[in-house]
Amino acid sequence: MDTSIDFIRPEFLNILFFQQKNLIIFPYVDLKHLHGLELFTVGHNIIDLESTALHNLRDILEFEVNNSYSQNPSLFFIYNLNREDIKKIMELENIRCILNTNESINEPVDETKYIVFNKKTNQFLNFYTPDSDLEFERYLISSSENSAILHDKIQAIKILGERIFAEINNTNELERLQKILQDYDVKHWNKILTFVNLYFDIEVPDTSNLKLNSNKRNMNATKDYLDEYESILSLNKNIGKEFIQLLHDYRLKKVNPAHLELEELFNPQKLYNYLRNHHWKD
């Protein structure tokens, strides 16, 4: 594993984002490649620390964790660690981190907080999950044309989580949660709610009694602008490419991603349909 792209895997998305766990990776990874994992740390302030340059690493971390007044929690990328430093870091409470060491990690590690990955053998030492449990993560990654689009999708779930957090604090009504989650398949709701529970540290109500299907908007209330979209793209190839780029630029600046279905985040035709129905009705 020598590039940041190699870290774009369902397991890392599950561990870092949905489960909000920490990572220990060995042996050495170049920091610029290690930062490929930053894609899955949405909602955190990233801090780089080079362990050999610090004589009081644990004290620095403990102070930072307990005295940060930022709206977003800190997540530390710490590299050139030895095993003793890692043991000291693992004793800290409420820390989010990605640790890199050139030394082998062979002793047992608390898998409820830390997952260990051997990049040389491409194996997780204490992370076991069936492929079916990673279905949502695989979909998010495979349906994204590039890392920027994948980041948008993860960010959309984070924003959705903020809405759920606010709703739980205000009413805690299951029906309201169902409405917020309606653009996602029901089978993925628990994974999203697990993220909300862990990231916002709030008790999430049981949604298993909700019987209605998730979908999605009332399609009878929207029009199909496929012919209009294809007509624009057929004018000129270069104009078509620029038009698609402008669609995504408008989405990033003007549209709350939580209001979009997953396909509308990356499919320009579906995005155009959404914009014509909700933003450009005239």
For 120, the token pair is: 């040389």
Residue 120: C-alpha distances to residues 26, 38, 52 (Å): 8, 20, 23
Are both 162 and 152 inside the same structural domain?
Answer: yes
Residue 138 lies in a domain: no
* Single residue among 133, 166, 196 that ends a domain in this structure: 133
* Single residue among 110, 133, 156 that ends a domain in this structure: 133
pLDDT score of 224: 79
Are both 89 and 173 inside the same structural domain?
Answer: no
pLDDT score of 269: 81
By DSSP bridging, strand 22-26 and strand 114-118 are parallel
Task: For residue 28, report the phi and psi dihedrals to the nearest 5 degrees.
Answer: -60, 140
Residues 6+ apart with CB under 8 A from 137: 10, 11, 13, 14, 18
Sign of the Cα pseudo-torsion (94, 172, 212, 142, in order): negative
pLDDT score of 216: 46
Residue 139 lies in a domain: no
**Average pLDDT per block of 10 residues along the chain, 282 residues long:** 79 98 94 93 93 80 80 92 92 94 90 94 92 92 90 94 91 80 88 95 77 45 76 82 85 76 71 86 70
pLDDT score of 262: 59
Amino acid at 148: A
pLDDT tens-place string over residues 117-153: 999 999 999 999 888 899 999 999 998 889 999 999 9
Range of the domain at 274: 217-282
- The number of beta carbons lying within 10 Å of the beta carbon of residue 103 is 14
Give the orientation angle of helix 268-278 with respect to helix 237-254, to 10 degrees.
60
